């Protein structure tokens, strides 16, 4: 008979996966009707990251719950986790640079234009380290997503206050919150797994943060859809001009 914690975990997991999938579906759907290339690019990023987070969530949940540690499981975990370092930071880096161009004063938030090279070095090093650690020591021993993601989340939240684009301002705010919550979830996952014997309880304490991050990703996609940025869906419909009104007597 399943325990109470296993039921809670299953409900949280289904909610997280469903919300990430819905975020990706929404982002790819609205991308086709957005007018501005910048918004279409951001919608693509949201959709792509939604798909990645689904794969990461599914792998970690199944592998940690059933305590899978075979070589092929660790290899798959190495590929998923190490690629996440690069993909997530690439998403952050491109979004912060877009945010700077939307700032009327063109301010360099947290000196990002200079520090980004250091963060890229640290991120790529973390990705390589996570890959080999996952293979030789198990994916559960891999270092969680590092401080570069936290710094990126802070940069996005600050950039949201400086952006002159109202739509992009909302998008940056929700994106920054999403990355912060997912980073926080990755930080508590490993300590809880070490100190709590019941894997369902450990993940039930972690996944509310992931669920909140998934909701923020969904709102990040929704923030890109003001009516003024949609392509006209009836542009090919031929309309008949109405006749001029008769002059009043």
Task: Count each helix (H run) and each strand (E run) in the chain, helices first.
Answer: 7, 0
* Average pLDDT for runs of 10 along the chain of length 249: 72 92 95 90 96 91 81 93 92 95 94 94 92 88 80 95 94 96 86 74 85 96 71 40 43
Number of C-beta neighbours around residue 11 at 10 A: 13
pLDDT the model gives residue 148: 85
> How much is the pLDDT for 228?
46
pLDDT for res 232: 45
Query: In this structure, is residue 240 part of a structural domain?
Result: no
Q: How many domains does the chain have?
A: 1
- Residue 242 in any domain: the answer is no
From 135, 140, 12, select the one nearest 66 (Cα to Cα): 140
Measured distance CA(92)–CA(6) in Å, rounded: 34
| CATH code of the domain covering residue 212 | 1.20.1070
Predicted pLDDT of residue 226:
67
In this structure, what are the phi and psi dihedrals at residue 230, rounded to the nearest 5 degrees?
Answer: -90, 145
**Residue 18 in contact with residue 47, Cβ under 8 Å?**
no
**Domain-embedded: residue 90:** yes
Q: Give residue 159's pLDDT.
A: 96
Domain assignment of residue 248, yes or no: no
What CA–CA distance (Å, rounded) separates 79 from 158? 32
Asked whether residue 237 is assigned to any structural domain, the reply reads: no
Residue 127 in any domain: the answer is yes
Domain that residue 178 falls in: 4-229
Q: How far apart are CA 9 and CA 207, in angstroms?
A: 8
Residue 93 forms part of a structural domain: yes
* 235 lies in some domain: no
């Amino acid at each position: 008979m399943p325990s109470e914690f296993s039921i809670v975990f299953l409900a949280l997991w289904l909610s997280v996966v469903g919300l990430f999938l819905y975020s990706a579906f929404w982002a790819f759907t609205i991308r086709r009707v957005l007018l501005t290339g910048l918004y279409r690019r951001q919608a693509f990023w949201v959709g792509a990251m939604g798909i990645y987070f689904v794969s990461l969530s599914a792998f970690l949940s199944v592998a940690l719950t059933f305590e899978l540690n075979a070589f092929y499981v660790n290899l798959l975990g190495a590929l998923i986790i190490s690629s996440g370092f690069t993909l997530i930071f690439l998403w952050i880096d491109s979004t912060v640079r877009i945010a700077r161009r939307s700032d009327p004063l063109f301010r360099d938030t947290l000196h990002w234009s200079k520090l980004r090279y250091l963060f890229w070095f640290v991120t790529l090093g973390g990705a390589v380290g996570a890959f080999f650690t996952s293979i030789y020591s198990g994916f559960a021993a891999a270092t969680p997503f590092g401080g570069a993601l936290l710094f990126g989340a802070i940069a996005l939240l600050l950039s949201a206050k400086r952006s002159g684009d109202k739509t992009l301002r909302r998008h940056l705010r929700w994106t920054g919150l999403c990355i912060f919550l997912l980073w926080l979830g990755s930080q508590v996952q490993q300590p809880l797994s070490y100190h709590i014997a019941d894997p369902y309880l450990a993940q039930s304490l972690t996944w509310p943060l992931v669920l909140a991050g998934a909701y923020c990703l969904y709102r990040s996609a929704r923030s890109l859809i003001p009516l003024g940025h949609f392509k006209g869906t009836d542009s090919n419909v031929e309309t008949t001009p109405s006749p001029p009104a008769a002059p009043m007597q």
